[in-house]
A and B are shown apart, each in its own frame.
Chain A
Amino acid sequence: MVSAIKSIVTYTILVVWLAAVVMPLVWVITNSLRSSQEIFRNPFGAPWLITGSPYVDEPTVPAPVQAVKENYQKAWVESHFSRYFANSVLVTTASLIGVLVLSAMASYALARFEFRGNRAIFLYFLSGLMIPAQLVLVPLFFQFTYLSRAGSWLLRPLGFELQLHDSFFGLIVIYIALSLPFTILVLTGFFKSLPGTLREAGIMDGCSEYGVFWFIMLPLSRPGLVTAAILNFLGIWNEYLFALVLINTPDKKTLPLGLASVSMQAQYRTDWGLMFAGFVIVMVPTLLVHLVLQRQLTRGITVGALKG
């Protein structure tokens, strides 16, 4: 009896929080399926797509299916979410590849080789965990100006100029650099946990050190790489501050930047359907990654926390 009450209480609490978390998201998704007129009449109604429209005969009110199409089409095409999405995919992918490759290399060297200064270099990388991104924001901004000027001076004879500001390249470099400390921390731990005999066996078989790394160690470290990749993906996909400072051209905006400006214009034009569709476009990739890879994500969090 007591345990029955206990479990009822437990479930009630859990379900209340579940509702608090899920309801706003459901609301966003529902409203992205409704026309602005529909939302304006009642922001909390069920979509007419399901219940049927009470205004079938009114020509000014779009049909439910039409409304869905219109919202997403407007967001994707007119408000350039397709562009922002492509930009975010490009920036995130390039940053992920960069940070994983560089970190894997550095971590492998740090984890598997003993040399003077090994510990010092490891700690040097780790100290980056204590540096808030805001500290380097302003100096990096000016550093980009100086580097661009110097680079342009060097490239001018060839007929080129360098502009790190307002470029994906600059943003990617910063994302890679800022993600290094955490990724190196995770991967070094991972490489240390792999049996050392594997490398010796590889060498015996005539592999070079590069071969051992590429054909033996890297495949074995896949779980570690996946974990690091997910955590970095979430961080970089959602990053706002650096993109805000560095990206100026509307065509180069990443999704968070695009969402911020589109939602402002959408509210200004009271185009609610469009705005909610934009929310969904931003939310869906990370939610999907989380749902599909939640086990690796959970492990990543624990690994990161326990080692830190």
Chain B
Amino acid sequence: MTGCDAIHRIPASVSQERVVEVAMFDAGYGINWQQKIAEKYTAEHAAEGIRVRVWGDQRVAEIVKPRILRGDPPEIIVITNIPMWLLVRAGKAYPFDSALDKPAYGADAPWRDTFIPGTLDTFSSGGKVYAIPGAFGAWCCWYDAKQFREHGWSVPKTWAQFDSLCDQIKAAGIAPIAFQGKYPYYAWSTYISLVQRCGGVAAINRINQIEPGAFSHPDAVWAARLLQDSAVKHFEPGAMAMTHTESQLEFVGGRAALIFCGVWLENEMKKSTPPGFEMRTFTVPAVEGGKGNPRLFNGQGGEFLFVPADSRHPDLALDFCRYLISPLNAASQGATSGAISPIKGGTKRETLSPALQSAMDMIEGAPGIFTERLTFLFVQWGDQNLVPAMSQLLRGEITPEAFCQRLDDGLTQIREHPVPGSPIPDYRPYDSAKFGESP
């Protein structure tokens, strides 16, 4: 009887099939590519009885997080909002280093050296890497080139141009900016981009080093003011209640002309995008009088893969990771899932869609990338300080100064009451001069 499904027969011997279960948050990129590679890997290792099973949906966190807690996790987990550092601290994350030192599939170099510089740093601590990026994320603004042509609009280079473009769009009876209001983290990435445009990577360094007053610095407040200004003036009505899917549907439906999002947007909306919609990107515009180099962009590893220490087959899991994210398979990643590989030079331009090619213009033309690390380090700070403050800022309910003050207050608390046994990992500041900025 199926009601007695609590008792299982233990697999008779080791020669039986060993399953590597991969649980993925299925959002922007989908999971098709990973499933295909898993099939390939399974076929190659059929003799050893290894099978890789990739599954995922939008509610995967609900399922996987309790499973980690009860000591029966999947072998590989790809979920964004997981308390990674807590798991590292509790010894529940399996380090990747043994695999990183092995040669990469499809290249002679060790696996470690094939990644885009900086993308492995996000989850390293004490000389060990606890999660590796599964994709490369870049933040940009999206538009429909066809709509722009029809109305005679042009891509803005500066924030003032961006602002007046929004006015033109509004005058044409279209909402200027769609926004994923239910998840204010989407505005956070735009904000970080603006902080760099206003204050250069020096301002990003201040934030990442958790310096006192990092957000109350005039440059950070300036960025908050620009963001609030355009949110209040140009966000689509009702945007603050929309999920990412709803707002992005507004965008591909042509009811809103612009949307800030990561490079995964095109693939995420593939099924709902009408034919003839020419999705293109432009980078976050330069700010007049700002210190930042506008060719830099907010980018980092994304879709991190991590192997729980309680995994049944950690070594098999590591080997599949090394196979999945490798020079060997990087090219097919761009073609199948529309993701940009975290492997250096792994993505072949000609395999990409026109939309992603426009993103590649931004990526290839940049002397470097920058990113923030607070939301990964301090998940609670993000949920309890950043998210509510951001919603209020965007609705125009608090001043930019008050917004920045709240972020700083949260960080002060973290500085004064550090969680015992969890040192903040080292930080290598961005070099202004190398990035073409005057310090």
Contact = CB atoms under 8 A, between A and B. Distances in A.
Interface string B57-72: 1110011101101111
A269 to B, nearest CB: 6
B10 A94 contact: no
B381 interface: no
A164 B7 CA distance: 8
Contacts of B57: 250, 261, 264-265
Contacts of B66: 141, 245, 248
B150 interface: no
Contacts of A156: 10
Contacts of A94: 3
Nearest to B58: A264
Nearest to A172: B3
Interface in B1-49: 2-10, 12
A94 B5 CA distance: 13
Contacts of B249: 270
Nearest to B63: A248
SS class, residues of chain A in contact with chain B: helix
B158 interface: no
B7 A161 contact: yes
A155 interface: yes
B245 A248 contact: no
Interface residues of B, number: 27
A25 interface: no
A221 interface: no
Contact of B2 (A144, A168, A260, A261): A168
B8 to A, nearest CB: 5
A144 B66 CA distance: 12
Nearest to A156: B10
B243 to A, nearest CB: 8
Given A260-B59, A265-B58, A268-B58, A248 B10 contact: no
B271 interface: yes
A168 B2 CA distance: 8
Nearest to B246: A267
A165 B7 contact: no
Interface of A: 90, 94, 141-142, 144-145, 148, 155-156, 159-170, 172, 244-245, 248, 250, 252, 260-261, 264-265, 267-270
Interface of B: 2-10, 12, 55, 57-59, 62-64, 66-67, 69-72, 245, 249, 271-272
19 contacts: A90-B3, A159-B10, A160-B7, A160-B8, A160-B10, A162-B7, A163-B6, A163-B7, A163-B8, A163-B72, A166-B72, A167-B5, A168-B5, A170-B6, A248-B67, A250-B55, A261-B57, A267-B245, A269-B271
Pairs of residues from A and B, 5 with the lowest C-beta to C-beta distance, nearest first: A169-B6, A167-B6, A145-B70, A248-B63, A167-B5
